[in-house]
């Protein structure tokens, strides 16, 4: 499945909305937030479906710089997150100016990982990892999809072969928004 994600911005530093469409331009999801001030990230992002009904929100939990940030995605009216996104850095990554990795933890224990590259055609790639934590740190995982940042057109093109991500694009959009709003800012600060 192919989705298009558009970033609506007043300027390079002030994004105010994301819109997810299918390849025909049909609006599927939008993500908005209350403006926290110039140069600051919002603490809560609200997701709405194509009919503008609120369906979920993403909360940012800032941690110490060496741990990376954590993001929790909640469905509307639920008190347990359906997705936990953890930013993964290590000192070598920071020294070599690598893009952060993101570990995605689903309630059923499944693990996904988003891996970025500055110099590849693929901006980020998604992999499913083994459920065993020790093996998850050692194995590459199985490829599920990719995020492409084209020079023209939509801000991002999201491609996936995963039935789960095709059925629930909210998970995919949450990851790309985190990468776009937090990961790129953090990577830029490393220069």
Number of domains in the chain: 1
Could you tell me the two tokens for 49?
């479906």
Residue 126 in this model has a pLDDT that exceeds 80: yes
The answer on pLDDT for 1 being more than 60 is yes
Q: What's the pLDDT score for residue 6? A: 94
**8-12, 45-49, 138-142 — which one is most confidently predicted on average?**
45-49
Q: How far apart are CA 155 and CA 149, in angstroms?
A: 6
**Tell me, what's the pLDDT at 69?**
83
Res 52: pLDDT:
94
Listed residue (15, 42, 47) closest to 31, CA to CA? 47
pLDDT at 40: 55
Gap between the Cα atoms of 46 and 164, Å rounded: 21
- Of residues 28 and 38, more confidence is placed in 28
**pLDDT at residue 137 in the model:** 58
- Domain of 62, in residue numbers: 2-189
CATH number of the domain residue 58 falls in: 2.40.160.200
Beta bridge partners of 115: 125
Number of other residues whose CB lies within 10 A of the CB of residue 59: 14
pTM for this predicted structure: 0.84
- pLDDT the model gives residue 100: 83
Residue 139 has pLDDT above 80, yes or no: no
- Taking Cα atoms as reference points, which of 7, 12, 20, 17 lies closest to residue 172? 20
Give the span between the Cα atoms of 144 and 71, in whole angstroms: 21
Q: Indicate the pLDDT class of residue 170, thresholds 50, 70 and 90.
A: very high
Query: Mean pLDDT, to the nearest integer, of 93-102?
Result: 78
DSSP secondary structure letters along 23-81: TT--EEEEEE-----TT---SEEEEEETT--EEEEEEEE---TTT--EEEEEETT-SS-
- Per-residue confidence (pLDDT) for residue 79, from 0 to 100: 92
Question: Please, which pLDDT band fits residue 88 given cuts at 50, 70 and 90?
Answer: confident
Taking alpha carbons only, the member of 62, 65, 82 closest to residue 73 is 82
State yes or no: pLDDT of 83 exceeds 90.
yes
139 compared with 115, residue with greater pLDDT: 115
CA neighbor of 126 nearest in space, from 107, 112, 137, 111: 112
Task: Give the Cα separation of 144 and 164 in Å (integer).
Answer: 10
What is the structure's pLDDT at 80?
Answer: 94
pLDDT at residue number 187: 46
pLDDT for res 191:
35
């Amino acid at each position: 499945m192919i989705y298009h994600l558009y970033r609506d911005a007043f300027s390079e530093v002030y994004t105010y909305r994301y819109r997810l469409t299918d390849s025909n331009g049909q609006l599927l999801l939008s993500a908005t937030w209350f403006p926290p001030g110039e140069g600051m990230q919002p603490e809560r992002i609200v997701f709405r479906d194509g009919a503008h009904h609120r369906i979920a929100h993403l909360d940012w939990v800032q941690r110490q710089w060496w741990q990376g940030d954590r993001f929790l995605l909640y469905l509307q009216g639920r008190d347990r997150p359906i997705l936990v996104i953890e930013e993964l850095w290590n000192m070598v990554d920071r020294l070599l100016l690598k893009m952060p990795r993101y570990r995605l933890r689903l309630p059923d224990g499944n693990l996904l990982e988003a891996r970025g590259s500055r110099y590849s055609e693929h901006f980020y790639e998604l992999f499913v990892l083994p459920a065993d934590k020790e093996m998850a740190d050692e194995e590459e995982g199985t490829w599920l999809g990719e995020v492409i940042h084209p020079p023209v057109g939509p801000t991002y093109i999201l491609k996936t072969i995963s039935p789960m991500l095709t059925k629930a694009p909210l998970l995919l959009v949450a990851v790309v928004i985190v990468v776009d709003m937090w990961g790129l800012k953090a990577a830029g600060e490393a220069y």
